[in-house]
Amino acid sequence: MSIIGQNIPHDSAKGHVTGESVFIDDMPFAKNELMVDFLGSPFAHAELISVDTSEAEKIDGIIGLFTYKDLNGINKFGPIIQDEHLLVEHLATFIGEPIVVIAGENKQAIEKAKKAIKLNMKELEPIFSIDEAIKKEQFIGIPRTIKTGDVESAFKTSEHVLEGTFIIGGQEQFYLESQASLAYPGENNSLVIHCSTQHPSEIVQVAASILGLNQNQVICITKRMGGGFGGKESQACHYAVMAGLVALKTKRPARIILTKDVDMQVTGKRHPFQNNYKVGFDSNGQINALKVDLFSNGGAAADLSTSILERAMLHSDSAYYIPNMEVHGKICRTNLPPNTAFRGFGGPQGTLNTENIIEEIANYLKKDSYEIRRLNCYGIDERNVTHYGKVFYNNVLPEIFDELHKKSDYKERFDSIKEFNSNSKTHLKGISLSPVKFGISFTTKFLNQGSALVNIYLDGSVQVSTGGTEMGQGLNTKIRQIVADEFSIDYENIRIMDTSTEKNNNTSPTAASSGTDINGSAAVLACTAIRDRLADFAAQHFSSPEEGIVKSKNNIVFKDNYVFDDRKPHKKISFKDLIPLAYRERVNLGERAFYQTPGVDFNRETGKGNPFLYFTNGAAVSEVLIDKFTGELKILRADILIDIGQSINLGIDRGQVIGGFIQGAGWLTSEELKYTDKGYLLSHSPTTYKIPNITDMPDIFNVEFFKNEENTVNVKKSKAVGEPPLLLGISVWTAVKHDLSFVSKNRVTLNTPATNEEIVMRIAEFE
Ligand code: MTE
Ligand code: QUE
Ligand code: MOS
């Protein structure tokens, strides 16, 4: 039986439970190690006139205080647009924006220093909301448009037209390990930075640039993260460079670990959106035209906002064929920490906006929203071209819709909910199905590349290193399975090495759900090259002209820890025994391979092309119960059907699906970011920011994988599973909206998150 698809426990399952797994702050302290922290701006928008560190310098245990003037390189960076400063020069643009880096021997000294530093600042008028930014024309990047057909003339011929505005809230990544880095100085101004990051190569690039080093002088090592969820894609960098700065200046190891509260206050989150829409449809609910204006709240700097907006625009079709469609997008500049990647990367916001519109149409026509969805779903041979001109191949959505509709007893439950709601005085129920069509690949072409290094040692054991990082998603386990499968040897013989820029250079972030796709594919290429050389050697080894067996590489088989010539399979040799023989014949037993995703090409100027290698599709049906008096929400049942091709690891993928669904549901129903009117985040800890917990799980939870044998485009016939399931959580919110349609005589306007508070207020307003 192949190791692919097996339920191998997560690489760190035991270590995470026993505590053996090493995170940055578990690394042993060096004798002369320094603690690093920073003093940030107390104002969301202020001029920095001067900084006086003279009193702080005198504090016992304070070793260094650094401002932008101490940087040897360029105090300018950013993943796409270089518009961020590591340390404020003259203008602070959000609360907590770092001004002074503090190096000390203990926490007490650092806390004292923070109080002793004198900041002379002049407060300026801040902007926090999308409305204010639009009014003051504060935007980041350029306005974007993607369109097909002719919406204006299509609206004229539409039977019905609905317009509205929809507000989508942000979300904190809530990884359990806060931003963390540990930097060691080396000879000749070199640095080794251990960092909890999804993007080790960015740490190297930015550290080198800001600290005035060559990139070959900096190594970034990422053993693992205690969660990333997008929050460590571009924003681990700031703290890594601070540690690097201190290590370089003091020649002592330097560690920075943010507290949860500070982390939540100063790092970016999922982008809030505010969208205007206009939709034209007929009396069956068939959509003829859709126009949306997306406005995201980018925060104070660009970060990844332009790519995130692009993905939101590319997902504004959700799962539907809309012949006339126009999507506009703008990023608003505000005085909040720069918003950043979060599982789904704009895709959830674009999809949710359209799913809200579907519920609106259903409400308006007094129909079951499922019917509207099924009717508008992309077709197989026709009605299958997206608004950006890509043909949607291998569309399994109609099958998923039908199968899940049946499996979840949707119809019966829909009818019994009507019954329940007309009888119950205290509670309301709602049900809804929402689909997922998530595009896989980075929409930025050059990021679709990966490398892997595979080395075999003389006892037949194997090491593999890739540019991918482990954040809990199980990448390491999957890579080990892939390599084991390639040589057909035991999983235990494969060891995955710490991700390091010394082994894999110029890597892409582990993001866009393509970690396994890209790095797994590169690992396959490396294994193939070695296997090819081993086969050549084995062919020689097994050849015997006297038996009429001429040397033939193509007859060599690797199977179940053995290697043989299929013309005389009984004379097999174990993989372990073959390796030292091959070594003695000077066979190269290591390979570094490179992979580039084929076929992806999207033209930003025209808004047309092929941004994705394929789509991961699925759907969820959620049934929710609301207490009319408290707004308390309970997910009674959730049924999920998702196509992830041939799963590489069923247990891990199941975990991704369940976790994603719940994380999505949390975003839309309980996680609320509350700020003061000065821009200070009030919900900056687990006590004030409510993520779902075990009691928020659906009472009945059915997760199934759709059988898709046709999928051959990706490594081991698998499909990416990391981000797509988050969008399944949208069904919980659409179910709440369905719920409220029973109490409203008119339109149900519901924003996100639909917290208990929001729900009671809506009920009060409707009744
Ligand atoms: N799962 C866990 N446990 N922890 C994480 O931080 N991040 C998600 C997803 N699943 C995450 C996770 C995000 S945002 C992405 S892009 C993918 O994992 C990245 O990993 P992959 O490409 O290897 O699936
Ligand atoms: C999805 C993603 C990312 C993306 C595009 C996607 C992503 C990411 C970038 C990106 C783009 C340009 C850069 C850069 C990164 O694009 O995670 O450094 O210069 O980092 O469709 O997840
Ligand atoms: Mo995931 S948001 O692409 O890190």
CA of 617 to the centre of ligand 1 (A): 17
Predicted pLDDT at 105: 98
Of 440, 444, 454, nearest to 487 by C-alpha is: 454
pLDDT in tens, 5-27: 999 999 999 999 999 999 999 99
Residue 441 alpha carbon, nearest atom of ligand 2 = 21
> Helix, strand or coil for residue 375?
helix
Residue 80 alpha carbon, nearest atom of ligand 2 = 19
Distance, CA of 112 to CA of 245 (rounded, Å):
21
Ligand nearest to the CA of 269: 3
Predicted pLDDT at 331: 99
Encoded tokens for 340: 């950043």
Q: How large is the average pLDDT for residues 163-180?
A: 98
Say whether pLDDT at 380 is over 90. yes
Ligand nearest to the CA of 726: 1
List the residue whose alpha carbon is closest to atom 4 of ligand 3.
230
CA of 693 to the centre of ligand 3 (A): 22
Spatial strand order in the sheet of 160-168: 139-148, 324-333, 287-299, 273-281, 160-168
pLDDT in tens, 432-464: 999 999 999 999 999 999 999 999 999 999 999
Predicted pLDDT at 125: 98
> Helix, strand or coil for residue 318?
coil
Q: Which helix (H) or strand (E) holds 619?
A: strand 614-627
CA of 438 to the centre of ligand 1 (A): 14
Say whether pLDDT at 161 is over 90. yes
Residue 514 alpha carbon, nearest atom of ligand 1 = 22
| Distance set, CA 240 to CA 254, 262, 299, 459, 659 (Å) | 10, 16, 21, 38, 28
As a whole-number percent, the residues of the chain with pLDDT over 70 amount to 100
CA of 46 to the centre of ligand 3 (A): 32
CA of 342 to the centre of ligand 1 (A): 10
CA-based angle 434:435:437, to the nearest 5? 150
Residue 341 alpha carbon, nearest atom of ligand 2 = 17
**DSSP 8-state symbol, 445:** G
Distance, CA of 434 to CA of 622 (rounded, Å):
9
Q: Kindly report the backbone phi and psi dihedral angles of residue 564, in degrees, each rounded to the nearest multiple of 5, phi listed first.
A: -150, 170
Of 42, 126, 295, 299, nearest to 677 by C-alpha is: 126
Say whether pLDDT at 745 is over 90. no
Q: Return the bridge partners of 330, or none.
A: 295
Predicted pLDDT at 673: 98
Of 587, 582, 565, 563, nearest to 573 by C-alpha is: 563
Specify the pairing of strand 427-440 against strand 614-627. antiparallel
CA of 40 to the centre of ligand 2 (A): 27
pLDDT in tens, 607-626: 999 999 999 999 999 999 99
Residue 233 alpha carbon, nearest atom of ligand 3 = 4
| 723 catalytic per annotation | yes
Q: Kindly report the backbone phi and psi dihedral angles of residue 621, in degrees, each rounded to the nearest multiple of 5, phi listed first.
A: -115, 120
With the most atoms of ligand 1 within 8 angstroms of its CB, the residue from 23, 229, 721 to mutate is: 229
CA of 31 to the centre of ligand 3 (A): 37
With the most atoms of ligand 3 within 8 angstroms of its CB, the residue from 172, 175, 233, 663 to mutate is: 233
Predicted pLDDT at 496: 98
Q: At what angle do helices 521-542 and 475-487 cross, to 10 degrees?
A: 20
Distance, CA of 333 to CA of 134 (rounded, Å):
9
Q: How large is the average pLDDT for residues 529-558?
A: 96
> Helix, strand or coil for residue 712?
coil
| Distance set, CA 354 to CA 291, 307, 315, 323, 434 (Å) | 10, 19, 9, 15, 11
**Residue 733 CB neighbours (<10 A):** 28
Say whether pLDDT at 418 is over 90. yes
For ligand 2, residues with CB inside 6 Å are: 79-80, 233, 304, 307, 311, 341, 345, 442-444, 447, 509, 511-512
Q: How large is the average pLDDT for residues 556-584?
A: 97
Answer for the pair 476, 482: CB distance below 8 angstroms, yes or no: no
Residue 472 alpha carbon, nearest atom of ligand 1 = 3
pLDDT in tens, 682-709: 999 999 999 999 999 999 999 999 999 8
pLDDT in tens, 627-671: 999 999 999 999 999 999 999 999 999 999 999 999 999 999 999
pLDDT in tens, 269-300: 999 999 999 999 999 999 999 999 999 999 99
CA of 443 to the centre of ligand 2 (A): 7
Average pLDDT in the chain: 97
List the residue whose alpha carbon is closest to atom 12 of ligand 1.
473
For ligand 1, whether the C-beta of 200 sits within 6 Å is: no
Indicate which residue of 382, 723, 765, 767 is catalytic: 723
How many Å separate Cα 238 from the centre of its chain?
A: 19
Ligand nearest to the CA of 442: 2
Distance, CA of 358 to CA of 156 (rounded, Å):
20
Encoded tokens for 175: 């990884």
Going by pLDDT thresholds of 50, 70 and 90, the confidence category of residue 603 is: very high
Which residue type occupies 197? T
With the most atoms of ligand 3 within 8 angstroms of its CB, the residue from 345, 514, 616 to mutate is: 345
Say whether pLDDT at 746 is over 90. no
pTM of the predicted model over 0.75: yes
With the most atoms of ligand 2 within 8 angstroms of its CB, the residue from 307, 514, 614 to mutate is: 307
Predicted pLDDT at 709: 85
